Amino acid sequence: MKNFIKQAEKFLTPNYRRQPVALVRGKGLKVRDNNGRSYLDFTAGIAVVNLGHAHPRIAAALCRQAKTLLHTSNLYHILPQIELAELLVKNSNLDRVFFCNSGTEAVEAALKLARKYAREVSGRGYEIIAAKNSFHGRTFGALSATGQPKFHKGFEPMLPGFSFVEFGNISALKKAVSRKTCAVILEVVQAEGGVNIAPAGYFQAVRKLCDQNHMLLILDEVQTGMGRLGKLFGYQFARVRPDIITLAKALGNGFPIGAMLAREKAAEVLNPGSHASTFGGNFLASVAALETVKLMLREKWPERAGNIGKYFLARLKQLKQKHPAIKEVRGAGLMLGAELAIDRCERVIDELRQKGFLVNLTQGRILRFIPPLIVSTKEIDMLISCLDNIMTRYDAEMNKQ
């Protein structure tokens, strides 16, 4: 398709800031654009294709199902949905699953469940505490729980009942709790917020605080779940048992699906008609996610992500020691960030892309590395070498200032 950028500008709403590339094929970590140029994808479609692009087993499962039955709705039982729910429950400390189509829908379900539980069981109010700099989604409930005013702009007023405290600060959280508080919602690692990691012991302290006040603990694992942090679930990395978690993105390895998992005490308040989704847990989504989770467990990809993530982090730290243009390096598993000390950091993203590497920029100055879990040390070394050359030039630029 010629002039696709002009066509996109003419026919699509202008709410995305896309890079000037149209990707048309992929396999593993590699993707190819419509001009035949190849790239190594260190974004994984925003932490989605954890098992790589066009995984043959997942593609085959989708093709088989597409030839059999596409849709019936949740008016009827969906066998692969039931099998997927059982697999998730048996590999977690949670008891029930609600399926939807995206991360923001999973968060909406979690917020509704928290308020319904408060009304019918705990007797708490309707207020929910979230973290500053958090990101939970774009629909109104999830957006209201997102602690970044820049995303609220133009859509105010937000839904009432949400307050925000500093992420990782248990003292601030304790001060914010009142009789009206029914739940706390947190990301295990703040992903879009800049790859921010809470201090040791934080989540255990939050769990204790929630127990003392009969509040539910919701962990948003839309980006940190499905092996990203070195464990199948993000809460396992945090070493805490939540009451509710949200999943999406990598759950279907590219096929849209979301899920809310909850402990029995909370899930039982979702009586028939209290919440629903026409497409949630449909046949295609369920078989894609089922194959994805089976592969994750059978081939031990979370464990590998934890190990190779340490290698990747060590290589980034070596770069930081060498280059003043890199201010800080941080992360866990294969969710890593390099905060830059230069202006107009999008230039680095452009240069990396021109050299054949796709990398994401968040918060204006943090290079976020969230590659498929199948990334090799060789591919990491290739990226590091390229970034080394780029940072050398920016070091010189800083010295001239």
Sign of CA dihedral 222, 223, 227, 229: negative
Q: Which residue has the tokens 């949905």?
A: 81
Instruction: Quote the pLDDT of residue 401.
Output: 64
Is 132 strand, coil or helix?
A: strand
Instruction: Quote the pLDDT of residue 354.
Output: 98
- Model confidence pLDDT, tens digit, residues 86-115: 999 999 999 999 999 999 999 999 999 999
Q: What is the mean pLDDT of residues 8-25?
A: 96
Phi-psi region of 194 (alpha: psi -120 to 50; beta: other; left: phi over 0): left
- Model confidence pLDDT, tens digit, residues 264-308: 999 999 999 999 999 999 999 999 999 999 999 999 999 999 999
Q: Which has more pLDDT, 250 or 397?
A: 250
Instruction: Quote the pLDDT of residue 222.
Output: 99
22 — pLDDT class (breaks 50, 70, 90): very high
Q: What percent of the chain has pLDDT over 70?
A: 99
Phi, psi angles (nearest 5°) of residue 288: -65, -45
Q: Does 131 have pLDDT greater than 70?
A: yes
Q: What is the mean pLDDT of residues 349-371?
A: 98
Q: Residue 362's beta-bridge partner residues?
A: 366
- Integer Rg of the chain from CA: 21
Choose among 193, 202, 192: nearest CA to 169: 202
Q: Does 398 have pLDDT greater than 90?
A: no
Instruction: Quote the pLDDT of residue 400.
Output: 72
Is 376 strand, coil or helix?
A: coil
Q: Does 195 have pLDDT greater than 90?
A: yes
- Model confidence pLDDT, tens digit, residues 201-256: 999 999 999 999 999 999 999 999 999 999 999 999 999 999 999 999 999 999 99
Q: For residue 162, how many C-alpha atoms fall within 13 Å in the half-sphere facing its CB?
A: 25
Instruction: Quote the pLDDT of residue 353.
Output: 98
Q: How far apart are CA 387 and CA 248, in angstroms?
A: 30
C-beta separation of 188 from 235 below 8 A: yes
Cα angle 10, 138, 172 (rounded to 5 degrees) comes to 145
What does pTM read for this prediction? 0.97
Residues in the chain, overall count: 401
Q: How far apart are CA 58 and CA 163, in angstroms?
A: 41
Is 371 strand, coil or helix?
A: coil
Q: What is the mean pLDDT of residues 180-192?
A: 98
2 — pLDDT class (breaks 50, 70, 90): low
- Model confidence pLDDT, tens digit, residues 376-391: 999 999 999 999 999 9
Q: Which residues lie below 8 Å from residue 253, measured CB to CB, with a gap of 6+? A: 48, 49, 50, 51, 55, 58, 288, 289, 292
- Model confidence pLDDT, tens digit, residues 56-93: 999 999 999 999 999 999 999 999 999 999 999 999 99
Instruction: Quote the pLDDT of residue 1.
Output: 59
Structural domains in the chain? 23-54+301-400 (3.90.1150.10), 56-298 (3.40.640.10)
Is 390 strand, coil or helix?
A: helix
CA separation, residue 17 to residues 5, 13, 24, 351, 364 (Å): 12, 11, 19, 17, 13
Choose among 113, 108, 370, 66: nearest CA to 267: 113
Give 259-312 as a 3 state SS string. EEEECHHHHCCCCCCCCCCCCCCCHHHHHHHHHHHHHHHHCCHHHHHHHHHHHH
Q: Does 351 have pLDDT greater than 90?
A: yes
DSSP string computed for 245-262 = EEE-GGGGTTS--EEEEE
